[in-house]
Structure 1
């Protein structure tokens, strides 16, 4: 081959290599931009039936997941049991306000319990939810969770969502960002060490949020969830009053706030035993959101 021909051959090989690199780069970019390749939410229906929603949809547990061998149909596997090792969902967006309701759940509503787990009240709440085959969300405080890991496991085994409610229940806006990170991070660590996965939802104590809490929560992979119906059960207004507030505020996408710790919660326990069958008798569906 002449020197001139050899030069042309080298030039052709360089062009082919460049084209191949460009093609690979375009392919990677298209895959990353394809929203169908990385869906941020999954949904399932009540009682473990597949849902039809998109982002986040009705879920009464981990979706259509088979029960553990030797367990009842109610005691479902944790929601992330089928995720690959080391799986982490994509960080959620940094919000400027918390989610107040979940209309994506369709006709379903959400029951949430804050401040626990407390061995005096949480077990009774779990028994009532189990008796009616209903899932709920528990926003736990790290200082309570670290001493009651068995209750965390029971929550997860029953298909409930375990969320982050800070470590010591402080007023978040009064804290430096480093303290907010410590409050949320330590609680997420306890949940992850106990259940194998970190929480995907968090709630600020007293419903007091600030910009740093939204940013740090998103960095930790959590979405902020507030509420639409406040039972004010922490004021101990009486069992009947709590029941009336829940039944009166029930509706699609509603998020109900109650407590399973932080004081005498015997009224909260008794109220759940009354309003939960009442909600079901009225045709309301109770669900939990979850993110893969």
Structure 2
């Protein structure tokens, strides 16, 4: 009799386990639906280390921002996280007989408009590595550059020497700048450059977490030293070559020589058969 009584007992346990399993399955499915983008009950995007540790391929740029995007805003770009590099990109030979012009430290109302006019005249695009505090002050210039098709990039908030900063400060400098660019233009930058060309492991790691690639340069015009317009032109022309990245400045001091030099060397580069272009956005 005892043996016969054990059979229904086991059946009861199995029925209870099946019910519990079904309830848990329903709960997990409901939770998964609640996390679907666009669902009314969807939680805000994860941020910081929480988002980096979450396994959800592919990670969107907004998912590892220091702050969530403004509700309803959609970043223009989507791509997987870039690799963590040990050295910055110096040139872009994959672009063929093409050179890349870059301008650091802006935007500046005294010099950036002249550079934009010259680029517009020759219908070419450049990369602008902006400092967050100046971009926040001169938002219309940032919008104008973006409207002309130029690439807006991250050059930290206040142009510090990043190798002298704690990782938390590096994250703040880069994160604030990416956030203000996204606030103004609706998308975060995909490229960044260390002030003074001073890179370290933390800068590479944090930049990759934010979805950005590190770009240095091949030709340094040293225009910040105001060596004279002729000297700047000569340095660019002598250093010209396929995939070359040229470093100029459109802020941070008197950049009238930089503006004048661009008017002279840009048509020469085009006459020599070079294309002036930027990476695909």
* TM-score tier (shorter): 0.7 to 0.9
TM-fit CA distance, 1:188: 0.2
Q: Where does residue 153 of structure 2 map in the other structure?
A: 163
Q: Where does residue 143 of structure 2 map in the other structure?
A: 153
TM-fit CA distance, 1:85: 4.0
Q: Where does residue 209 of structure 2 map in the other structure?
A: 219
Q: Where does residue 256 of structure 2 map in the other structure?
A: 266
How high is the TM-score relative to the length of structure 2? 0.73
TM-fit CA distance, 1:290: 2.8
| Runs of 5+ consecutive residues of structure 1 not aligned to the other structure | 1-37, 39-83
Select the residue among 108, 115, 120 that pairs with 2:105: 115
TM-fit CA distance, 1:111: 0.2
| Cα root mean square deviation, aligned | 1.7
TM-fit CA distance, 1:88: 3.2
Q: Deviations over 1:1-39 (max 9, x none)?
A: xxxxxxxxxxxxxxxxxxxxxxxxxxxxxxxxxxxxx8x
The structure that is helix-richer by fraction is 2
Q: Where does residue 190 of structure 1 map in the other structure?
A: 180
Q: Where does residue 7 of structure 1 map in the other structure?
A: none
Counterparts of 1:267 and 1:118, CA distance in 2:
14
Counterparts of 1:226 and 1:85, CA distance in 2:
29
| Runs of 5+ consecutive residues of structure 2 not aligned to the other structure | 1-57, 59-72
Counterparts of 1:224 and 1:126, CA distance in 2:
24
> Which structure's CA Rg is the greater one?
2
Aligned length: 211
Counterparts of 2:74 and 2:116, CA distance in 1:
29
SS of corresponding position for 1:237: coil
Given that residues 163 and 201 in structure 1 are in contact (C-alpha distance below 8 angstroms), is that contact kept between their aligned partners in structure 2?
yes
TM-fit CA distance, 1:193: 0.5
Counterparts of 2:266 and 2:181, CA distance in 1:
27
Q: Deviations over 1:225-280 (max 9, x none)?
A: 00000000000000000000001101100000000000000000000000001111
SS of corresponding position for 2:129: strand
How high is the TM-score relative to the length of structure 1? 0.70
Counterparts of 1:90 and 1:126, CA distance in 2:
31
Q: Where does residue 275 of structure 2 map in the other structure?
A: 285
